[in-house]
Amino acid sequence: MTSEHELSHDPELTDWRVLLGRLQARFSTGKGGFSAGAEFASRVAARADELDHHPDIDLRYPHVTVTTLSHDVGRLTGRDRRLAIAISQIAAELGLRAAPEQLSALEIGLDVMVAEDVAPFWRAVLGYEPGSDEDAAASLADPAARHAGLWFQQMDERRTERGRFHLDITVPHDVAEQRLAAAMAAGGRLVTDEFAPSWWVLADAEGNEACICTWQGRGQGDGS
């Protein structure tokens, strides 16, 4: 079994955080800049070939973000853990610092009455594909994994008194309360913490809503 809880508390994965069912880490390249990031990415690619398990690598100045998931089974497995440990070892050898506090993953939620009626429109407009949910109409995803996913929240009745779009920002579980406090200090208000620590619903001064989310309380994956 390789659960999100186990991975989030694994002493060998202190560089990594679970976000939207994926393991993710960011490494600052510091004074080494882009060339240091490119060397790191190259060594990660070579090690991934050796392990026959390949992550997504986002090389920017001045950091590299690495994300891993066992795509063949659609969840985290022991292969992701082994790859993450190997990547952290490479980063340590190159003197790169992990920056887990910088990690996040953005989704857009849309309140709907019948997801099947609106999903084709948004799929066409955005150029997205059905998400990995069992209900294919429940979410859409960018096939290039560059833009925020769109998911449809089922409503019992139409809402006209507020916006129907809201943002879900998934952050590391150990920075969620800090992010919550910052939002409140910036003029936000807490709509509900009923679902915490999975998510908190906040609103700005005009009532526009957003959710701060973590992996906690959600389903857990398993695998070899």
CB 38 within 8 A of CB 59: yes
Intervals of CATH 3.30.1360.20 along the chain: 4-102
Right CATH for 4-102 from 1.10.8.60, 3.90.79.10, 3.30.1360.20, 1.10.3720.10: 3.30.1360.20
Half-sphere exposure of 88 (CA within 13 A, CB side): 20
Give the model's pLDDT for residue 133: 57
Give the model's pLDDT for residue 35: 96
CB 116 within 8 A of CB 102: no
Intervals of CATH 3.10.180.10 along the chain: 105-213
- Distance of alpha carbon 211 from alpha carbon 219, whole angstroms: 18
- Distance of alpha carbon 28 from alpha carbon 211, whole angstroms: 27
Is residue 175 predicted with pLDDT exceeding 70?
yes
Give the model's pLDDT for residue 224: 36
How far is the CA of 200 from the CAs of 36, 211, 212, in angstroms? 38, 5, 5
The domain covering 105-213 belongs, at the CATH homologous superfamily level, to 2,3-Dihydroxybiphenyl 1,2-Dioxygenase, domain 1 (3.10.180.10)
Give the model's pLDDT for residue 80: 98
CB 21 within 8 A of CB 198: no
Query: What average pLDDT is seen over the chain?
Result: 91
42-56, 86-100, 144-158, 165-179: range with lowest mean pLDDT: 144-158
96 Cβ partners below 8 Å, 6+ apart? 27, 28, 29, 30, 32, 36, 40, 64
Give the model's pLDDT for residue 125: 92
Predicted TM-score of the model (pTM): 0.88
90 Cβ partners below 8 Å, 6+ apart? 40, 43, 44, 47
